[in-house]
Amino acid sequence: MNKFLSASVLAVALTLSAGTSMAAGFNGPQNLGGFQGPGLAISSVAQALSYSDDTPVVLEGNIERSLGDEKYLFKDASGTVTIDIDHEDWRGINVTPKDTVVIQGEVDKDFFKTEIDVDMINLKK
């Protein structure tokens, strides 16, 4: 009798649990997709330097050298700008000055300087 009662309680608990999960919209592993379409157009360094603070940008060019403290000199055909790449944003990518990269980030403008705060960096394919 105890085994039957335990099995019944377990079956009811599993049914309620499954019903709650279904009601909450959980149906197992799902593809966590996102927007599929055009994004930001690639800007030049010269254009980015003219944008307002916090404007999102995508730049394509080369990292010329390290300036220390997570800052680097970035160059494209239109000029150079200091970029700030946090250690975790490298995601294991190794880059030399000969590698062309695409960076995504925001313009960081204050009274004395303009930099790009990089959120993502990828090697150009």
Q: What is the pLDDT of residues 45-92, one digit of tens each?
A: 999 999 999 999 999 999 999 999 999 999 999 999 999 999 999 999
Q: What is 70-125 written as a DSSP string?
A: TEEEEEETTEEEEEEE-GGGGTT----TTS-EEEEEEEEE-SS-EEEEEEEEEE--
Residue 60 in any domain: the answer is: yes
pTM: 0.70
Question: Is a pLDDT exceeding 50 seen at residue 22?
Answer: no
Q: What is the CATH number of the domain that holds 63?
A: 2.40.50.200
At residue 29, the pLDDT reads 60
Residue 28 in any domain: the answer is: no
Residue 34 in any domain: the answer is: no
At residue 67, the pLDDT reads 97
Our count of domains for the chain comes to 1
